[in-house]
Amino acid sequence: MLDCRNLVVTYESTPVLQNLSIYIGAGEVVALTGPSGSGKTTLLRCIAGLEVVDSGTIFLSGEEITPKPAHLRRIGLVFQDNQLFPHLNVAKNISYSLMIQGTKQKLMDEKVAEVLELVGLTHLSQREVFKLSGGEAKRIAVARALVAQPKVLLLDEPLNGLDKELHARLLADLGTLLRLRGTTTLHVTHDQDEANAIADRVLDIRNLMSH
């Protein structure tokens, strides 16, 4: 499904990704761990098309996407701080990518309703995002990432900074949801227990590179 081969990224002559290769099969949930500064976010940015690789190739469903711009890659991304659009309400946040694609209003409404139901927040569709609780905002960020049916979902430390109870609840719900949808997922975390709880397979980024 997602196949990255020999990716190299260097910042100001400091190598960050050194010949990194990773493969994720269709429907697999893979957790990626590694210490702070080891290149986890950089890898996700390369896969999403937000970062240019010095060399290496990225395949998605057998197609090489290395030169493809981010908005054509069909990849969903959730950040630690959600990065919801503050001036748009919940429904408009979720439908944004569909609107950009020129999706008809009726279909857009259906898809937004579907993912809102998936994350259990149908009743909040018209809420301003700055009025959401931390847990609600996280669920909306996941719904927004899933609405355009991405081929791969990338989660960058999505559950950091949440209190213990909320962390446990969201982790369990996220695991259930990903399996329900069969979503191919790369879940980045520095929390080994979180990685083991959610993933089919846990990889350490340091073991994916060859020097």
Q: Which residues bind Mg ion (CB under 5 A)?
A: 40-41
Nearest approach in angstroms of CB 79 to Mg ion is 9
Separation of alpha carbons 84 and 133, rounded Å: 13
Cβ 84 to ligand ADP shortest distance, Å = 21
Closest separation in Å from C-beta 15 to ligand ADP: 9
Distance CA 182, CA 151 (A): 10
Cα distances (angstroms) measured from residue 163 to each of 157, 159, 199: 14, 9, 21
210 binds, among ligand ADP, Mg ion, none (CB under 5 to 8 A by kind): none
76 binds, among Mg ion, ligand ADP, none (CB under 5 to 8 A by kind): none
The residue length of the chain stands at 211
Give the x-and-dash track for 36-55 against ligand ADP (CB under 6 A): xxxxxxx-------------
Q: Does 158 bind ligand ADP (CB under 6 A)?
A: no
Distance between CA atoms of residues 170 and 160, nearest Å: 11
82 binds ligand ADP (CB under 6 A): no
As a whole number of angstroms, the distance between CA 53 and CA 49 comes to: 9
Cα(211)–Cα(201) distance, integer angstroms? 23
Q: Where on the chain is the footprint of ligand ADP (CB under 6 A)?
A: 11, 16, 34, 36-42
